[in-house]
């Protein structure tokens, strides 16, 4: 059964008055980032999204999350068209985005507060999710008293505390060091196998994409479309050693094959993306 249906999504950014960029040799104040994305995502599926810089991965995630309006096309969540953030969706950002004036516990409670969960239940559930990520005893720490890995654990706990049916993750481990990254990847998999929520995970790392995914969606260079969808049939539960297996290596070669031309193409308009980012 399809949980998320993305059909014909196009996104064009209109630059600020007076700003121009050169696209394919022509001056313009409009940049098309997504050009007709179609994607069906099944319930409980773990999808990773890879593609060169500027292929619109994050923009697509924002559209699915209801944070940005598409210029054309629709996204449906369980048959309902998304026009604004859905309470059934959780979002995790690369830069953690924790509220620095709230403690770890109260950051998680925030997600429940704004969804109207009663006070007592908030505390219990927030404590449960902190414990799930091995952060019992850190309830009263402020974000700047936690390491990057711990902050991202809190942020994921915050996203999961409201029992979302969809979890959107935008390069959540990109700012972490390699060891912490691998630890968090396997923690995330363990928890996901328990709760079986649908995950869409944007990453630049091919290894990360293969290790986590049921299916990898490879995006083309800008304007982004779906180039290829690669099934990752590695058995679950997966442990870290799987990375050195022959099957894993075969997948790695295949994903890189799909990605290489697009990365080369993207190099040509690297100067473009700052114009419409943010």
Partner 1 sequence: MAYISEKPGIGIRLPSIAARGAARPTRKHKTARGDGTFSYGLPLLILFFLLWEIAPRLGWLNPIFFPPLSDVCRSWIGLAESGVLAKHIGISLQRAAIGFGLATIVAVPLGFLMGRYSLFEKISDLLVQTLRNTSQFALLPVFILLLGIGEASKIAITFYSSVFFLLVNTISGVKAVDPLLLKAARSMGTSDVDLFRKVILPASIPSIVAGARLAVKSSIFAVIGAEMLAAKSGLGYLIQQSQLMMETGDMYAGILTMTLIGLIVNYLLVWFERWATSWKGQSDTSPH
Footprint of partner 1 (CB under 8 A): 65, 67, 85-87, 89-91, 93, 95, 97, 99-102, 110-111, 113-115, 142-148, 151, 162, 174-177, 278
Least separation in angstroms between residue 91's CB and partner 1 is 4
Question: Three-state secondary structure along 166-231?
Answer: EEEEECCCCCCCHHHHHHHHHHHHHHHHHHCCEEEEECCCHHHHHHHCCEEEEECCCCECEEEEEE
Q: How far is the CB of 229 from partner 1 (least distance, A)?
A: 26
For β-strands 2-14 and 30-42, DSSP reports them as antiparallel
In this structure, are residues 149 and 180 in contact, taking their beta carbons and an 8 Å threshold?
yes
Supply the minimum distance, in Å, between the C-beta of residue 276 and partner 1.
15
> 246 vs 278, which CB is nearer to partner 1?
278
User: Of 39 and 176, which CB lies nearer to partner 1 in the complex structure?
Assistant: 176
Whole-angstrom distance between the N-terminal and C-terminal Cα of the chain?
Answer: 35
Q: 52 vs 223, which CB is nearer to partner 1?
A: 52
| CB of 85 vs partner 1, minimal distance in Å | 5
**Closer residue to partner 1 in complex, CB, 113/239:** 113
Between residues 22 and 267, which has the closer beta carbon with respect to partner 1? 267
- Return phi, psi of residue 165, to 5°: -90, -20
Distance of alpha carbon 187 from alpha carbon 180, whole angstroms? 10
- Cβ at position 87, least distance to partner 1 in Å: 5
**Distance, CA of 226 to CA of 48 (rounded, Å):** 12
Looking at the Cβ atoms of 38 and 113, the one nearer to partner 1 is 113
Q: Decide: 217 and 49 in contact? Cβ < 8 Å.
A: yes
Measured from the CB of residue 89, what is the shortest distance to partner 1 in angstroms? 7
């Amino acid at each position: 059964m399809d949980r998320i249906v993305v059909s014909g999504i196009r996104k064009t950014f209109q630059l600020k008055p007076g700003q121009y960029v050169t696209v394919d040799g022509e001056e313009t104040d409009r940049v098309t980032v997504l050009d007709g994305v179609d994607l069906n995502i099944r319930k409980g599926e773990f999808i990773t999204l890879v593609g060169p810089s500027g292929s619109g991965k994050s923009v697509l995630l924002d559209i699915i999350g209801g944070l940005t309006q598409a210029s054309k096309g629709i996204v449906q969540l369980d048959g309902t068209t998304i026009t604004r953030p859905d309470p059934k969706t959780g979002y995790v950002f690369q830069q953690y985005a924790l509220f620095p004036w709230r403690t770890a516990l109260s950051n998680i409670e925030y997600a429940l507060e704004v969804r109207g969960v009663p006070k007592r239940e908030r505390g219990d559930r927030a404590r449960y999710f902190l414990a799930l990520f091995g952060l019992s005893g850190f309830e009263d720490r402020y974000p700047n008293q936690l390491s990057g890995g711990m902050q991202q654990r809190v942020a994921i706990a915050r996203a999961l505390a409201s029992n979302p049916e969809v979890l959107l993750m935008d390069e959540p481990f990109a700012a972490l060091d390699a060891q912490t990254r691998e630890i968090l990847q396997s923690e995330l998999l363990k928890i996901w196998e328990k709760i079986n929520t649908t995950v869409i995970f944007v990453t630049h790392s091919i290894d990360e994409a293969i290790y986590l995914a049921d299916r990898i969606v490879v995006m083309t260079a800008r304007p982004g479309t779906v180039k290829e969808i690669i099934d990752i049939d590695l058995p679950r539960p997966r442990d870290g050693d799987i990375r050195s297996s022959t099957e894993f290596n075969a997948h790695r070669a295949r994903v890189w094959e799909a990605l290489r031309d697009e990365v080369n193409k993207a190099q040509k308009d690297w100067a473009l993306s700052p114009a419409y980012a943010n």
